[in-house]
């Protein structure tokens, strides 16, 4: 292989691919990124056998096609520390040479044929949607997943593919986030009763690797894998095995609930203030609604007390509920700070339901009031 390339596009793509490669592995070759160069294309491949990525790299001029294994620990720093705009890459089977204007590096290289294959996207059935919507779905659900649980299904985001939409759900058993986005089904793609639970690691990769420049994204689900394709890349992931909770049952009956519209930015600030004096043993913040005011109160032995008032548009009966401020803060963090959302509360023992006007719902189980 012999090629000349622009350094910055290669660095950007290499860093994304490198995030997939395992730090430790019984298969040392996985701790590398493979570069495939043809006469018209250059593709970086990385995998840990659970998640894989193929990224097309622009800015290559190819003298002779071929493949090369690039070691993370050495090739990444060369790209990062170099100040050259253009680099020349050449491999002769014994090693790889990287030349800049005033620099030259020679690295040993492994046999490219030993690198595992990474799935390509050759699907006839899939859902298509704008990249920004898929990223938003991930951002609004992934924080509610639970990688510490022995229930492995909670360590991923459930995706449900329907005719004109995709629903994403994340839960750790104490709160649940659900995002619904419009999408187009191609070839009759839908999951019906199948469980498509995508591991959090893969969802983080998809959200980080995609940009708004990717425009339309195609996503296809199978029995044990999911594939995501943008114009620049394909991401593959095995699915999490296990049964996901019946998430629709978590959303409580709305009858008898009070609906309160709340401003995102000012509530986020008030929650952070009230949480300052909470502790791991006494983590709850009391939310009391009465007479056009929301009062937030926190207290913990040996830490102190907080009392924060927020004017709100509520003139209904007095209501109180105790919530984990971390759970509410993580919800507020993924919203537009200039917007409002609706909070539905029935009583201190029932789940609080937050919703927005763009298909986002969030359920928080209350904490026991200790006074």
The token duo for 76 is: 């990444």
State the Cα–Cα distance between residues 181 and 141, nearest whole angstrom.
12
* Strand 360-364 with 352-355, pairing: antiparallel
Q: How far is CA 201 from CA 20, 23, 272, 284, in A?
A: 9, 14, 28, 29
More confident residue, 194 or 110: 110
How many CA atoms lie within 13 Å of 14's alpha carbon, on the beta-carbon side?
A: 25
State the Cα–Cα distance between residues 294 and 318, nearest whole angstrom.
10
Is the pLDDT confidence value at 306 over 90? yes
Q: How confident is residue 282, by pLDDT bands cut at 50, 70 and 90?
A: confident
Residues of the chain above pLDDT 90, percent:
84
State the Cα–Cα distance between residues 192 and 243, nearest whole angstrom.
14
pLDDT digits (tens, 9 = 90+) for 314-357: 999 999 999 999 999 999 999 999 999 999 999 999 999 999 99
Query: CA nearest 183: which of 169, 197, 163?
Result: 163
Residues of the chain above pLDDT 70, percent:
99
Is the pLDDT confidence value at 302 over 90? no
**What's the whole-model pTM score?**
0.92
* Strand 340-345 with 352-355, pairing: antiparallel
Q: What pLDDT, on a 0 to 100 scale, did the predictor assign at position 369?
A: 67
Angle between helices 7-18 and 72-81 (to 10 degrees): 150
Eight-state DSSP code of residue 177: E
Is the pLDDT confidence value at 371 over 60? no
The per-residue pLDDT of the chain, averaged, comes to 93
**DSSP assignment string, 309-328:** EEE-S--SS-EEEEE-HHHH
H or E segment to which residue 352 belongs: strand 352-355
Q: What pLDDT, on a 0 to 100 scale, did the predictor assign at position 313?
A: 92
Domains with residue ranges and CATH for the chain:
2-114 (3.10.150.10), 126-248 (3.10.150.10), 251-364 (3.10.150.10)
pLDDT digits (tens, 9 = 90+) for 49-63: 999 999 999 889 999
Q: Is 96 left (phi over 0), alpha (psi -120 to 50) or beta?
A: beta
Query: What is the pLDDT averaged over residues 101-113?
Result: 93
Q: Are 61 and 67 contacting, i.e. CB atoms less than 8 angstroms apart?
A: no
Q: What pLDDT, on a 0 to 100 scale, did the predictor assign at position 218?
A: 97
Q: What pLDDT, on a 0 to 100 scale, did the predictor assign at position 252?
A: 72
Q: Which residue in this structure is represented by tokens 């191609």?
A: 186
The token duo for 56 is: 């097309």
Q: What pLDDT, on a 0 to 100 scale, did the predictor assign at position 370?
A: 61
pLDDT digits (tens, 9 = 90+) for 243-267: 999 999 988 777 788 999 999 999 9
Is the pLDDT confidence value at 127 over 60? yes
State the Cα–Cα distance between residues 25 and 97, nearest whole angstrom.
26
State the Cα–Cα distance between residues 50 and 155, nearest whole angstrom.
14
Q: What pLDDT, on a 0 to 100 scale, did the predictor assign at position 94?
A: 82
Number of neighbours of residue 112 by Cβ within 10 angstroms: 19
Q: What pLDDT, on a 0 to 100 scale, did the predictor assign at position 109?
A: 85
Q: What pLDDT, on a 0 to 100 scale, did the predictor assign at position 307?
A: 96
208: helix, strand or coil: helix
With a CB cutoff of 8 Å and minimum separation 6, the contacts of 91 are 1, 2, 66, 68, 97, 109
How many CA atoms lie within 13 Å of 136's alpha carbon, on the beta-carbon side?
A: 17
Q: What pLDDT, on a 0 to 100 scale, did the predictor assign at position 303?
A: 85
Cα-trace Rg, the chain: 25
pLDDT digits (tens, 9 = 90+) for 132-190: 999 999 999 999 999 887 778 999 999 999 989 999 999 999 999 999 999 999 999 99
Least confident of 100-104, 124-128, 333-337, 366-370: 366-370
Query: CA nearest 263: which of 183, 199, 173, 343?
Result: 343
């Amino acid at each position: 292989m012999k090629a000349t390339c622009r350094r910055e596009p290669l660095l950007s793509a290499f860093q994304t691919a490198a995030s997939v490669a395992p730090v430790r592995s019984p298969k040392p070759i996985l701790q590398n990124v493979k570069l495939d160069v043809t006469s018209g294309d250059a593709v970086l491949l990385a995998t840990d056998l659970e998640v894989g990525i193929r990224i097309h790299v622009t800015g290559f001029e190819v003298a002779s096609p071929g493949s090369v294994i690039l070691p993370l620990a050495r090739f990444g720093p060369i790209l990062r520390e170099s100040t050259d705009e253009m680099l020349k890459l050449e491999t002769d089977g014994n090693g790889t040479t990287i030349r800049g204007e005033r620099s030259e590096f020679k690295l040993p290289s492994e046999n490219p044929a030993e690198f595992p294959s990474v799935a390509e996207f050759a699907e006839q059935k899939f859902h298509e949607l704008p990249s920004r919507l898929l990223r938003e779905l991930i951002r609004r659900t992934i924080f509610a997943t639970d990688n510490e649980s022995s229930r492995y299904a909670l360590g991923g985001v459930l995706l449900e593919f329907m005719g004109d939409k995709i629903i994403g759900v994340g839960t750790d058993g104490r709160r649940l986030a659900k995002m619904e986005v419009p999408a187009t089904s191609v070839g009759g793609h839908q999951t019906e009763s199948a469980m498509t639970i995508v591991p959090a690691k893969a969802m983080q990769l998809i959200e980080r690797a995609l940009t708004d420049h990717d425009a339309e994204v195609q996503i296809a689900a199978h029995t044990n894998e999911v594939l995501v394709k943008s114009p620049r890349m394909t991401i593959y992931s095995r699915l999490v095995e296990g049964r996901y909770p019946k998430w629709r049952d978590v959303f409580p009956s709305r009858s008898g609930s009070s609906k309160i519209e709340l401003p995102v930015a000012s509530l986020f600030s008030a929650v952070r203030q009230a949480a300052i004096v909470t502790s791991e043993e006494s983590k709850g913040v009391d939310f009391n609604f009465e007479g056009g005011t929301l009062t937030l109160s926190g207290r913990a032995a040996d830490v102190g007390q907080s009392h924060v008032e927020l004017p709100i548009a509520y003139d209904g009966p007095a209501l109180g509920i105790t919530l984990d401020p971390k759970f509410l803060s993580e919800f507020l963090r993924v919203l537009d700070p200039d917007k409002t959302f609706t909070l539905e509360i029935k009583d201190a023992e029932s789940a609080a339901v937050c919703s927005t006007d763009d298909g986002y719902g969030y359920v928080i189980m209350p904490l026991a009031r200790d006074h």
